[in-house]
Amino acid sequence: MTDKEKRMIADEANMIVSGYSYTKSDKGIEIVNLNMLEPHTMVINLDGKMIESSMDPIEQSVAIDLWNSNKELKIHKKELQADV
């Protein structure tokens, strides 16, 4: 993945944590590991259950743990922004 491609993914992301971008789509939550040269992606549902993935099992575990740990913060931040 080029830096330009990574920047485009990051710009469209709803949340970025530890180099993983999280973007809501029709399929669910699309996760991209921005630290890798080749695309490592995964799609999960809102509950953090994997739908499809090209990540290795360790990446999958890390990405899902990060989602579960931060999704409430993302939602709370969005609500705070709407109040401003």
Each residue's pLDDT tens digit, 48-75: 899 999 999 999 999 999 999 888 765 4
pLDDT at 46: 82
Task: Kindly state the average pLDDT of the residues 13-39.
Answer: 92
Closest CA to 31 of 3, 81, 71: 71
Structural domain count, the chain: 1
Contact by Cβ (8 Å): 67, 29: yes
**24 pLDDT above the threshold of 80:** yes
CA atoms within 13 A on the CB side of 14: 18
pLDDT at 79: 44
Residue 1, judged by CB atoms within 10 A of its CB (0-12, 13-18, 19+), counts as middle
pLDDT at 1: 86
Containing structural domain, residue 54 = 3-83
**Cα–Cα dist 55/73, whole Å:** 24
| pLDDT classification of 81: cutoffs 50, 70, 90 | very low
